[in-house]
Amino acid sequence: MSSPSSPAVESLPRPARRGDRLVAVALLVGTVAWLLATEGGEGFGRDEAQYMRAGERYWGWFEELGSNLAHGELTRSFSAGSIDRYWSDNAPDHPVVMKTLYGLSWRAFHRCTCLGPARGLHPIPVRGRHLTIPLFKRDSTAFRFPAVLMAGLLAWLVFWFSRQLVPRAAAAAAAVMTIAQPHYFFHAPIACFDAPVTTMAFAVGYAYWKSLRSARWGLACGVVFGIALGVKHNAWLMPFFLAAHYLWMRRGDLRRRVVTRVPLAFVSMAVVGPAVFFLHWPWLWHHPIERTRSYLRRHLEHEHYNFEYLGRNWNLPPTDFDLKLLRTTFPFVSTALTVPVTTLGLAAVGALALASRARRRRLDPADPLGQAASDAGSLGESDADGNVFIGGAGPLEAGARPSELSSPSSPSSPSSPCWLRPGADVDRAPGAFIAAQTFGPLAVLAIPSTPIFGGVKHFMPAMPYLAVAAGVGLAAVAGRLAAVVRARRASSSGAAAPIGALLAVVACVPAVVETRRSHPDGLSHYNMIAGGFAGGATLGMNRQFWAYCVLPMLDWVNAHAPQNRRMYWHDVLGDALSMYKREGRLDMSVGDTGFGEPGVERSEIGLIVHEKHWALYEKFIWDHYGHARPSLVRTREGVPLVIGYERTAPR
């Protein structure tokens, strides 16, 4: 049993710790390799292409900074004019941690062909051939590389957090089931913010969890939170979810009418977090109050884009009671229909196991692990090899309940209950922690007035914790099976580890196969409960958004010269077209007739991205082309995603 101030993994023998490190590194490297091997199949949506453009423009500021430094004019780069010239791109929409990383990664790792025909498509002047480390053939891969690394970091973090709760195999399975979710996997490699903020949400949660027993982590929590604020505005809500857990963990204080101490982590998040946020975004520096207000208002008053859910198009907050009720179900139904079924099932088992642990703690608070010794194997624990179910929970005094213990006399004791280590004297309630981090993001998206246009990506920070619960469920099942095997063999050695490893593989394979099958159309994918791509379409679930799906149509477009000089691109924006051309996927001569019905009227060929609210635009095609016969329809399992039309009807 580890000390209250140390995670259980730290009490493992050295070979076991080495094994954990190898598994963690393998998960990180494997995730990065998988995403790099598949990201090229995903097209560019309107938002990603804008962030690539902004990231490259931010690099221009650093390039100018170096030039000014060389000429002894460093202060010029920090003038309001210089900062606005570069950093106003995509402001006030989003802060700049990831966009800056995307721009720096592009500058460092692209294979430079910038002096070629696409030279004029860059958002900043190209003054000469770039000296780079040419890791990636495509510019887009160089832009996307930081997002891929963030996904690898998430797998690494999920393993280490889960390892404090369950044996190694189950912890590794939790990490794999985090990545192997079709919708998450789609978002993971693209140069956007939803997957990175999922990583940062988990990092903030992990830092807070550690801070309950460590003052150093309390300080670190503020820094991590500040970085999360610089990734995406989802971070605003993280402290509320953590506070819900903290109040539950210290509920004994409330029962005894004792003022609950404010933990160092919350103080650090309140002080250090905003400071890091302000320092990271140059656009705020010269007008901090006005521009911070502008940023907040942008998201507090965000418009409602179109989104299909259960056959209805939602683009405004519902006003009727029945529609409000239906809208409230959105994040829960979407989770049930998009996460692989094996992950959902194991998460349900894990929830029961965590609830059972909490119940046993109430019945026997003197039991530090929350289960009787005779039941130790039922959840996959093995005291012999250090794989305790809940790591770092110190033994409670006989007859005491959580958060009702008297403080040790020595304030320097590792278990002293103080604001520096506010969880040192109580059980950290892992079930409540996982529940708060899972249901918190879902609950926010269940509010009928909240925009839902991003689908799963808007509550994706809940998904790693769902996978952790699945890891707990896997450990519970493995423990039961191991107990049966030990009873039949009349032996306690060598049973749990092989069973746990075998079950981990069996549990992960369906999720991995389903994720691989969904690619590159993860936005359109639905699980076995829904009936796959076709089942999701039949149920009226959202098909896709922002035209990521057109990449496989580009060969057809390129083949239709010279008609393609008058090309209607529908929902594909100019920044995405520029990136396709920069990479040689789209001929430089292909044109763009613009948006809406005027764009259709001027065009000779066109694409329609299939979404419910775009039906009118397909009618524009029929009206102006004089027929309704498509030339090419891109489908997945019979579900139309993109339709190509020519003004001259195909025979």
CB 557 within 8 A of CB 590: yes
Distance CA 317, CA 410 (A): 55
Quick one: average pLDDT of 121-138?
95
Joined together, the tokens standing for residue 78 give 């920090």
**650 three-state secondary structure:** coil
**Measured in Å, how far apart are the chain's first and last C-alpha atoms?**
76
Confidence of residue 402 (pLDDT cuts 50, 70, 90): very low
% of the chain beyond a pLDDT of 90: 75
Q: What digits encode the pLDDT tens for the residues 160-201?
A: 999 999 999 999 999 999 999 999 999 999 999 999 999 999
**What digits encode the pLDDT tens for the residues 32-91?**
999 999 999 999 998 999 999 999 999 999 999 999 999 999 999 999 999 999 999 999
Task: In whole angstroms, give the CA distance from residue 511 to residue 453.
Answer: 25
The dihedral formed by the CA atoms of 234, 237, 241 and 242, expressed in degrees to the nearest 10: 100
Mean pLDDT of the chain: 87
The verdict on whether omega for the bond into residue 408 sits within 30 degrees of 0, i.e. cis, is no
- b/e map 326-353, b = 16+ CB within 10 Å: bbbebbebbbebbbbbbbbebbebbbeb
pLDDT exceeds cutoff 80 at 456: yes
- Tokens 């942008």 appear where? 298
3-state secondary structure of 606: strand
* Pair 170, 504: CB distance under 8 Å: yes
Question: Does residue 590 carry a pLDDT above 60?
Answer: yes
Any residues with CB less than 8 A from the CB of 635 and at least 6 apart, and which?
641
Residue-wise pLDDT for 268-292, tens only, equals 999 999 999 999 999 999 999 999 9
Report pLDDT for 467.
Answer: 98
Tokens of 322: 């029945």
Residue 538's contacts (CB-CB under 8 Å, 6 or more residues apart) are 531
* CB-count burial class (<10 Å; 0-12, 13-18, 19+) for 139: buried
Q: Which among 577, 641, 635, 647 has a CA at the least distance from the CA of 609?
A: 641
- Residue 314 CA to residue 518 CA, distance in Å, equals 25
8 Å CB contact between 100 and 91: no
Residue 396: is its pLDDT beyond 50?
A: no
Looking at per-residue pLDDT, the higher value among 489 and 88 belongs to 88
Sequence-separated (6 or more) residues with CB below 8 Å from residue 75: 68
CB 186 within 8 A of CB 518: yes
List, for residues 491-504, the tens digit of each pLDDT value. Answer: 555 555 688 899 99
Which of 132-141, 206-215, 408-417 is predicted least confidently?
Answer: 408-417
**C-beta separation of 193 from 214 below 8 A:** no
For residue 371, the model assigns a pLDDT of: 40
* Sign of the dihedral defined by the CA atoms of residues 430, 435, 437, 438, in that order: positive
Element of type H or E holding 634: strand 632-636
Q: How confident is the model at residue 305 (pLDDT cuts 50, 70, 90)?
A: confident
CA-CA distance, 433 to 632, in Å (whole number)? 50
Euclidean distance between CA atoms 300 and 319, whole angstroms: 19
578 contacts: CB under 8 Å, gap ≥ 6: 49, 53, 118, 121
Q: What is the pTM (predicted TM-score) of this model?
A: 0.90
Contacts 24+ apart (CB under 8 A), 361-366: 361/402, 361/427, 362/401, 365/396, 365/398, 365/399, 365/400, 365/401, 365/402, 366/395, 366/396, 366/397, 366/398, 366/399, 366/400
Tokens of 451: 């925009």
For β-strands 639-646 and 632-636, DSSP reports them as antiparallel
pLDDT of residue 401: 35
Please say if the pLDDT value at position 16 is more than 70: no
* pLDDT recorded at residue 232: 96
Residue 292: other Cβ atoms inside 10 A: 16
Give the pair of three-digit tokens for residue 270. 């309140």
Check: CB of residue 167 under 8 Å from CB of residue 497: yes
CB 60 within 8 A of CB 196: no
CA 127 to chain CA centroid, nearest Å: 37
